[in-house]
Amino acid sequence: MISIDIEKKLRAYPGQQVLKVAAQFAAGSITKIYGPSGAGKTTFLKVIAGFVSTERGTIAANNITWLDTSSKINLSPQKRKVGFVFQDYALFPNMTVRQHLEYATDDEAWIERLLAIGGLETHAAHKPEYLSGGQQQRLAILRALAIKPKLLLMDEPFSALDPEMKSGLLAQLNALFAEMGITVLIVSHNPQELEGWGANELLIK
């Protein structure tokens, strides 16, 4: 179970707006986060991961407090260890596909399985600049999964995938999430994208 109650000021034009979210996410659940541009969806994910600080709030995951501004508890991203799929992929230009996964885990069998899920076996020795947009996006998802996180945060993770690849990958990921019991939060603009996943919804506005 992940409990979140945060309040963060966002820069906006004109003036300022406040991102205010109070929600609970059951272990193993999948939640789709949607809302207008600039509402703070990405910031919300980054606050959970510990990349961005917030003025007030609490975050607890499986009875461990990650953030409590009143008692000045704020675990580092390294200790929270959430899987994070960035909107800009944030791939490391100096590393090949395999090196990305090896940087995250020593489990060779797991790496092979991830490469198969992402359909990137034949591209394992390629650096990101030699991958298509869709392949880069798949690599970003695989890297986030490599650490076998308990919580996976995905920011527009399927936007660059072609429809055929997307349906295959989504089916595999859905099964994998269930197998691993991961709690997943997905920011998505596409209402049809997660059909059939039984995903909960959270509106941020």
Distance of CA 36 to the CA centre of its chain: 19
- Nearest residue (CB) to other proteins, 21 versus 91: 91
Residue 155: which of 75, 34, 42, 52 has the closest Cα?
A: 42
In the complex, least distance from residue 78 CB atom to other proteins, rounded to whole angstroms: 5
- Nearest residue (CB) to other proteins, 91 versus 165: 91
Using the CB atoms, write b or e for 8-23: b if 16+ within 10 Å.
beeeeeeeebebebeb
- Nearest residue (CB) to other proteins, 22 versus 90: 90
Do the Cβ atoms of 144 and 84 come closer than 8 Å? yes
Residues at the site binding other proteins, with contacts judged by CB under 8 A: 46, 49-51, 76-78, 80-84, 86, 88, 90-94, 103-104, 143-144, 146-147
In the complex, least distance from residue 70 CB atom to other proteins, rounded to whole angstroms: 25
- Nearest residue (CB) to other proteins, 16 versus 76: 76
In the complex, least distance from residue 135 CB atom to other proteins, rounded to whole angstroms: 17
Burial class (CB in 10 A: 0-12, 13-18, 19+), 101: buried
In the complex, least distance from residue 140 CB atom to other proteins, rounded to whole angstroms: 8
DSSP-derived letter for residue 55 is S
